Amino acid sequence: MVNKKIIITDRLLSNWMRCKRKAWLDLFQEKSQRRWSSHRSLLLDNQYQSLIAFCKAKPGLGIDACKKGYENVMTLRLQGKSSNDQLIEARPTLVQKIEGQSCWGDFKYRPIIVKQGKNLTQNHRLILTLWSVLLQDLQNAPVNECLAISLKSEKLEIQKLIISSKNKAQLEDSIRKVSKTITKDSIPPLTYDRKKCSICSWKKFCDQEALAKGELSEVSGIGAKRKEVLELVGIKNINNLARINPKSLNTRLVSLKKNHGIIAKDLIMQAKSQTSLEPLKLTKSRPLRRLNNLPGVLIYDIESDPDENHNFLHGILIVKRSLDGLLNIKDSEYKSQVYLDKFDQFGCWNYLKKEFEHYPDWPILHYGETEALTILKMTEKIGDGKEARDIIEERFIDIHQIVRENWILPLRNYSLKTVSKWVGFEWEDANADGSKALLWWRQYKGSIKRKKVKEELLQKILDYNKDDCLATLKITNWMLSN
């Protein structure tokens, strides 16, 4: 069925490729229920930096720039119809002038997309194909190839895509399917793989529905494959899972032969904790007893730019023990070191080692394996790996690991932010997260020239990193108290 009232745009097609539900929500759901995602801003920032690196001169704008033969053109609006008469529209990120003949003269254009990640995805291929088909009609000249560009570590990577008949057939098929999705009166069901939802502007909206329905995807440890397996053996929601006997579930799983590493008892206990809203203690031991009688601890947290492989901020919180035996937040001292040069690993390690040695008997707490792996990788390059391994083995304590080994919490995941909120930690900036901190960092080191603005951005990053440390401390004190 052709939907002539709605125009299928490149953005709608791209969203549909990621999640059919998102495409529907973008069209029909009340926009006030959307939430801004810092991931979107990171994508736009990467796009901006990549385009600056690619374009030697300022691009022209719109169809008039094409008529004048600009080398690169932005904001070009393309319109047309699919083979089944569906209205389609696109706005290519950039089109580049190349040799050929078109309605504008002895040249023609090809579309260019900015991508993140190493490889071209099916999403990239479909969007480039859509741009090519519509651009071909506009300029009255074939478009046989496109480019995908990406700026990584200050180096521009360029990848060519040849548009084939197979690409065009896949595009037509996808347009028909999108049209079918958006003609439905009801919202498409929640996606199976909800790990991708973390960067979606509709996440909170979908989370509320998933919680109300008791979706299996709300249970920590259940992804798309595990959910599918559990549904095959008759477990439809979190309440079913919480009530079943572990031996019974295990028998059903064994009959499938492929259970995707499911350990029945663990998932059932997690479901019970989440339905009862009560934590479950797995062991009788006191895993943090080594902290007893020590004068204090160090809490260590890193902020990184994964695309640049750059650990740009190392924060350390110095925490003394109070008279009640807990680690005192009020008297803590926060120190940090920012590294603009990602290759200054020798200077970075010397700074960290100096801080660690100043408190030689104090354990170093961190949340997750990132900090230990970062130090090992750094010191192996500069020939100090053995000393770093000794420090990590003797003094590093992964609070995330301690939590997972000793507790089942009534939470859908065990991230630092989720667990620390549950134990009562209040973040200074309630909307801050790792993606937003990374955005602030890229803005800080980017094109912004005003000193005051740069200082404000850096202070936001420091405050966020300090809160990471304080959140780790709050979880530690909760375990000490329980």
Task: Provide mean pLDDT across the span 363-390.
Answer: 92
Cα 79 to Cα 12: distance, rounded to the nearest angstrom: 14
| Structural domains in the chain plus CATH codes | 8-182 (3.90.320), 214-278 (1.10.150), 289-481 (3.30.420.10)
Percent of the chain with pLDDT over 90: 57
3-class state of residue 276 by DSSP: helix
Residue 194 in this model has a pLDDT that exceeds 90: no
Q: Do 256 and 264 contact (CB within 8 A), yes or no? A: no
Residue 447 in this model has a pLDDT that exceeds 70: no
Exposure string for 10-37, b = 16+ CB within 10 A, e = fewer: bebbbbbbebbbbbbbbeeeeeeebeeb
Task: Provide mean pLDDT across the span 120-141.
Answer: 95
Residue 395 in this model has a pLDDT that exceeds 90: yes
Confidence band for 1, pLDDT divided at 50, 70 and 90:
very low
424 backbone dihedrals φ, ψ, rounded to 5° = 105, 15
**Predicted local confidence at residue 327, as pLDDT:** 83
141 alpha carbon, distance to own chain's centre:
39
**Predicted local confidence at residue 3, as pLDDT:** 53
Quick: pLDDT tens for 297-328. 999 999 999 888 889 999 999 998 877 767 88
Report which of residues 292 and 171 the model is more confident about: 171
Query: Which of 157-171, 251-265, 275-289 is predicted least confidently?
Result: 251-265
Q: Do 141 and 101 contact (CB within 8 A), yes or no? A: yes
**Predicted local confidence at residue 186, as pLDDT:** 84
Residue 175 in this model has a pLDDT that exceeds 80: yes
**Predicted local confidence at residue 262, as pLDDT:** 78
Q: What is the mean pLDDT of the chain?
A: 90
DSSP 48-59: HHHHHHH-SSPP
Cα 145 to Cα 123: distance, rounded to the nearest angstrom: 16
**What is the separation, in whole angstroms, between the first and last Cα of the chain?**
60
Query: Which of 151-165, 361-375, 396-410 is predicted least confidently?
Result: 151-165
Residue 35 in this model has a pLDDT that exceeds 90: no
Quick: pLDDT tens for 74-97. 999 999 999 888 999 999 999 999
Confidence band for 60, pLDDT divided at 50, 70 and 90:
very high
